[in-house]
A and B are shown apart, each in its own frame.
Chain A
Amino acid sequence: MNQTLAIERPRRWDQPFGPGMTESDVDRVLGLDIFRDIDQSQFPKDQSLRHIIRNDGRVVRYQRGDIVVRDGDYGSSVFVIMNGSVRVVFDDVAKSGLVGTATTPKRSVLSALRQVWSNDRMPEVRDVATYQGGDALSIRGESTAARTFIKDVDAFMAEHETFPMTEGQAFGEIAALSRTPRTATVFADAPLEAFELRWQGLRDIRRRDRKFREHIDSLYRKRRWAQELVEVPLLAKLDEATLEEIAQHALFETYGEFEWFTSYKRARDSEDVLKVEPLIAEQGAYLDGLIIIRSGFARITERLDKGERTIGYATTNDAFGLEDIVDHWRDEAGLHLRHSLRAIGNVDVLRIPTALVEQHVLPNAPAHLLRGHTVRVGSAGFAETGPSGLEQSLIDFFVDNRTINGTATMLINTDRCVGCDDCVRACAAAHNNNPRFVRHGATHGNIQVTNACMHCVDPVCMIGCPTGAIARNQADGRVMIDDRICIGCGTCANSCPYNNIQLVEIRDSSGSFIVDEATQQPIVKATKCDLCYGQLGGPACERACPHDALVRIDMRDQRHLAEWVRRS
């Protein structure tokens, strides 16, 4: 008989955020203004405030010039300054020069042509000089302790507008609360000691302590919310006073896990993927407010017999429930949700009370927005659904596989693809003879979701990158890896739920592997599709397909998607 191996059930804090936290560190943190007045009796014994501080937080130290957070990067933690000071950079990230590839100029025609004969014959050849260049940024430290730093802080401060933050002040709460990218770059302008609290701890303290919640939320509202409301197309025409009123009454809610890719990978092959998708709003429930998705994406479902069928999906700035509120406003129909909304991954929503929507939003909203940006779903039918008439099972396929996360998903119509591999060759030609995708992937009918970076709406690959090498390009939203500051730790490749990032061993121009001085092990870099950044004419793969089989498509644009699917 086989012996069953018994182990202790894994628990939340088996892997603390910072393993080096001591009781004395916890005492110091609890002495900070922001935590001092928290009523510790509100916390259960097994999840006390001390437990949270100790396990969900860590004390991090930075040298002068180290970048703590960078505009555009994904972060999931809030920082409180314990010792030292930081500077917040006002200039946007491209202008500040604190990124690499984003500033790469577009090629000239001659330069593009030159690639035909000047591309290296060996794979993954790099010019070592680019790792030692004279950029504003450099790297110190290794692995997850690696830091990018500004080489000449004084010169940088003289050239760019910054403002200081000192002991006791907090920053980074916007990204931690809303899963949006960091909204500013912050660097240490003196040796810095800061307490970093990951979002799980922030969530728990915020939930238990009203004063703490109010403090953090007030920071968030002050620094971000007004801007967020303006960014919602439905609210864009409202005046400042109305927006202020909405801001006061709107609720900010978060659903799902921050690092959803872990549970998704587990659930991917299970039969009931809905189990990992928490309900945001349930069919039949009273519609207390308009739900606007601020980040992430959600599945719209309708009850069918004993299950739920997918009838659409929603993403950033989509409004859910608007159709029902409009019907109530115009015809006094009942205020009940006709469909359910489920969080796919991590979703931030604004819930604006129905009365405010009817009073301020609907009378001022352009007619096309009431039709276009609303998530309208079709009547029940087994073959087709949704505003676009996509096949029901195809929507399920896209949503179940999280393909809807892509803003430049590579889809191939296998009924037109002859397998000539011109797309792969074109990709290689545009990337120094290194193809950045594999012409293979999950398939539904004649639609293949190819293994190429999708440049996701919610790029979870960016979570945890220790140097900020993988970042979203501020100009056009593509997700790119700055090869110069990538340390090859593989965090991004492990996080990508779609296996679209590869780690490669790099070589010099003679074809020899470039190795680490200390260990003599090959240097590794993360690589992926960059949508042919800097090349002329857009993604080479799409332009190279002779048979119109391949497309790079924004999955949020369901009409375009449906047109493409129905083209043949």
Chain B
Amino acid sequence: MTFAVRALRNTAFLVLASAIVLGLTWGYGLSLHDTAFLSGWMLLVGVAFLTAFNLRKKLPVLPLLSVSTWLQLHIYVGWLVIVLFLLHTSLRWPTGGLETGLWLLFVAVALSGVIGIVLSRVLPRRLRLHGERLIFERIPAFRAQLAGEVESLAMDSVTQISSNTIAEYYTSRLQPFFRKPRNVRAHLLGSNEALQRLRREIRSLERYLDSKGQEALKEIEWRVAAKDNLDQQYAVQLFLKGWLFVHLPLTYGLVLVAVVHAVVVYAFDGGSL
């Protein structure tokens, strides 16, 4: 089954499940009950199920369906939970501190989840199209290697071609560039303007150098491009790994506040339940 067909199938299930949820709530309302209790409980169970996804990931050696199946459930149950949330809140702004906090947490978790899954589908391809795919943990070592090579080329140019041009350019522009990851935001936005600018600068130096100097410059230029690829890999992979550090703590916060919310509701139900 292609991913597109699977997405269609799952969307159909989601629509069906949403219709069932809406039907149940409508029926519950017909019996003169407060539908917020039903939608609230369904919402809490849904959020608990979504949270269990991370627990499943921590138990890779157990035969509890594949993690990709869990992710599909996580995504589509997530959408269903959003429907439940809209139903539960009746599309009204929250009132009171606890409810506002809970509302904000839910929106933040849902948004970070949606953004995360969209980026998970978009960014890997961008990584591939930009250059060689690298293991994140190895990037600093590659960067140090490139920095060392460029420094040697720049220093050697002083003695071998008796010119300070490359060395001065290295000191002012390239050394900072190679020192750490650069242009993270630009890479996330898919811009390669920074690389283009450096290339223009490097090529503009050619007229001041003899053939040996120009050779050295070419060597430097491809290392600049390689470093730019490292930066792109770093930025995108950091983001791919990092968004979970937003999504997960917010989720745990949401679960905690949601439980408090439920306790408060039952504590102050005034006998209506």
| A contact set with B: CB distance below 8 Å | 109, 112-113, 115-116, 414-420, 422, 425-426, 429-430, 439-440, 443, 445-446, 448, 535-537, 540, 542-549, 566-568
Residues in B with CB closer than 8 Å to A448 are 133
> A422 near B62 (CB under 8 angstroms)?
no
> A439 near B57 (CB under 8 angstroms)?
no
Residues in A with CB closer than 8 Å to B58 are 116
Q: Is B120 an interface residue (CB 8 A)?
A: yes
* Residues B25-70 near A (CB distance < 8 A): 57-63, 66-68, 70
> B60 near A414 (CB under 8 angstroms)?
no
> A446 near B125 (CB under 8 angstroms)?
yes
> A546 near B62 (CB under 8 angstroms)?
no
Q: Closest chain A residue to B237 by CB distance?
A: A419
In the complex, the 9 A-B pairs of residues with the closest C-beta atoms, listed nearest first: A426-B60, A537-B63, A546-B71, A536-B63, A415-B125, A544-B60, A543-B66, A418-B240, A548-B68
- Choose among B57, B59, B124, B136 the residue that contacts A415 (Cβ–Cβ < 8 A): B124
| B contact set with A: CB distance below 8 Å | 1-3, 57-63, 66-68, 70-71, 120-121, 123-125, 127-128, 132-133, 135-136, 237, 240-241
Given the complex of chains A and B, what is the CA–CA distance between A425 and B60 in angstroms?
A: 8
A selection of 5 A-B contacts at a CB cut-off of 8 Å is A418-B123, A537-B63, A543-B60, A546-B57, A568-B3
Given A542-B66, A547-B68, are A116 and B59 neighbors across the interface (CB < 8 Å)? yes
Given contacts A112-B62, A419-B240, A430-B61, 17 further A-B contacts (CB under 8 A): A109-B63, A115-B61, A414-B124, A414-B128, A415-B128, A416-B121, A446-B125, A536-B62, A536-B63, A537-B63, A543-B67, A544-B60, A544-B66, A545-B67, A546-B57, A546-B67, A546-B71
Residues in B with CB closer than 8 Å to A422 are 57, 60, 67
Given the complex of chains A and B, what is the CA–CA distance between A429 and B67 in angstroms?
A: 15
Interface of B is mostly: helix
Q: How far is the CB of B62 from chain A (nearest CB, A)?
A: 6
Given the complex of chains A and B, what is the CA–CA distance between A416 and B117 in angstroms?
A: 11
Residues in B with CB closer than 8 Å to A547 are 68, 71, 120
Q: Closest chain A residue to B59 by CB distance?
A: A116
> B68 near A443 (CB under 8 angstroms)?
no
Given the complex of chains A and B, what is the CA–CA distance between A159 and B15 in angstroms?
A: 65
Residues in A with CB closer than 8 Å to B240 are 418-420
Residues in B with CB closer than 8 Å to A414 are 124, 127-128, 133
Residue among B1, B67, B70, B135 with max Cβ neighbours from chain A (10 Å):
B67
Q: Closest chain B residue to A431 by CB distance?
A: B61
Residues in B with CB closer than 8 Å to A430 are 60-61
- Choose among B61, B121, B124 the residue that contacts A536 (Cβ–Cβ < 8 A): B61
Residues in A with CB closer than 8 Å to B59 are 113, 116
Q: How far is the CB of A327 from chain B (nearest CB, A)?
A: 34
Q: Closest chain B residue to A412 by CB distance?
A: B133
